[in-house]
């Protein structure tokens, strides 16, 4: 399997898939291979029954439908590649019916909750100054975690108030940033060289001067959410979700929000529009109903 996986990875790189996507494919394929080894089966000679057994195993492990679907997509594309290079004659995943994925509505903070959350970092410490700049920038630009952590110092233009970031398939977009983020970044740049012990070009890094992991960023977000006593479930994307909904609530058109978020299709952005409309209905009710 290793030889086929190496070739498949190269094929994905040629298609310019993102590093995170490729790593997910590798992980999913290796997990499936380990499962098959326990059943004394070989990857290139399985049928749909083996796939059904694997899905049942994932369910027993408590995997969410979204995780199971991602695993199946990884395997389907891997077998599709094996067919293309002539190693197999049929794709055992092709006729397997994908589980239904119920899309969860993202948790969104109110403007007041965002203010409380962003006031948590202690700006008397270097860590607090860095954290404040990271969080303010994420809310100001609505960027993904991977985009935030991959920003380089030359991607920021404080004079013209914008950042450049690369999204899916390395598509670059320019995003304006506001005065709060600019002020916090200016403060951060005063101490960045002190933290930058590895002389990195990255904009942000961990306290060892190395690239921060997604898990490391998630811990930062989780800790400040707890300190701010916010009862909602907060994750690494909460500020991005809140950014989108707050723009729509304040009159931004959905096409512009789509471009700012870097969504490939407007359908992905529509979920924020529905959240915004629901919020407006609640406000109308509270302001108009005599017993609200």
Residue 96 belongs to a domain: no
Question: 28-47 as b/e, with b when 16 or more CB fall inside 10 Å?
Answer: bbebbeeebeeeebebeebe
Residue 205 belongs to a domain: yes
Residue 188 belongs to a domain: yes
Long-range contacts of 111-114 (CB under 8 A, 24+ apart): 111/246, 113/228, 113/230, 113/232, 114/139, 114/239, 114/242, 114/246
pLDDT tens track for 37-67: 999 998 888 888 999 999 999 989 888 788 8
CATH number at residue 58: 1.10.150.130
Residue 90 belongs to a domain: no
Structure tokens at 268: 């992905």
Catalytic-role residue among 132, 144, 192, 240: 240
- Whether 246 is a known active-site residue: answer no
Residue 95 belongs to a domain: no
Residue 160 belongs to a domain: yes
Q: State the residue range of the domain holding 36.
A: 2-84
Chosen domain end from 26, 49, 84: 84
Assess whether 178 and 255 both reside in one domain: yes
Assess whether 233 and 190 both reside in one domain: yes
- Whether 70 is a known active-site residue: answer no
Assess whether 61 and 160 both reside in one domain: no
pLDDT tens track for 214-233: 999 999 999 999 999 998 98
Q: How many domains does the chain have?
A: 2
Catalytic-role residue among 15, 30, 169, 233: 169
The 162-166 sheet, strands edge to edge: 156-157, 162-166, 172-176
Q: Of 8-12, 123-127, 180-184, which range is least confident?
A: 8-12
Residue 70 belongs to a domain: yes
Assess whether 146 and 74 both reside in one domain: no
- Whether 263 is a known active-site residue: answer yes
Assess whether 37 and 125 both reside in one domain: no
Within its chain, how far is the Cα of 37 from the centroid?
Answer: 32
> Full-prediction pTM beyond 0.85?
no
């Amino acid at each position: 399997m290793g030889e086929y996986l190496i070739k498949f990875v190269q094929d994905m790189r040629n298609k310019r898939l993102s590093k995170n996507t490729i790593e997910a494919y590798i992980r999913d394929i290796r997990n499936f291979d380990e499962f098959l080894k326990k059943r004394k089966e070989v990857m290139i000679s399985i049928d749909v029954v083996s796939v059904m057994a694997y899905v049942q195993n994932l369910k027993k492990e408590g995997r969410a439908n979204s995780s199971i679907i991602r695993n199946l997509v990884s395997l389907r594309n891997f077998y599709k590649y094996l067919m293309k290079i002539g190693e197999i004659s049929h794709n055992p995943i092709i006729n397997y019916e994908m589980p239904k994925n119920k899309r969860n509505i993202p948790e969104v903070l109110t403007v007041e909750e965002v203010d409380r959350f962003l006031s948590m970092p202690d700006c008397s410490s270097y860590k607090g100054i860095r954290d404040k700049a990271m969080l303010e920038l994420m809310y100001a630009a609505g960027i993904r975690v991977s985009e935030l952590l991959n920003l380089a110092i030359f991607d920021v233009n404080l004079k013209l108030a914008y950042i450049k970031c690369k999204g899916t398939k390395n598509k670059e977009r320019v995003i304006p940033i506001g005065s709060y983020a600019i002020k916090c970044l200016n403060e951060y740049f005063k101490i960045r060289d002190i933290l930058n012990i590895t002389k990195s070009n990255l904009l942000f890094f961990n306290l060892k001067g190395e690239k921060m992991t997604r898990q490391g960023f998630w811990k930062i977000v989780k800790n400040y959410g707890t300190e701010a006593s916010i009862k909602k479930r907060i994750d690494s994307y909460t500020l991005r979700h809140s950014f989108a909904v707050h723009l729509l609530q304040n009159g931004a058109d959905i096409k512009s929000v789509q471009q700012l978020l870097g969504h490939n299709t407007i359908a992905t952005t529509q979920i924020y529009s529905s959240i915004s409309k629901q919020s407006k209905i609640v406000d109308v009710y509270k302001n108009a109903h005599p017993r609200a």
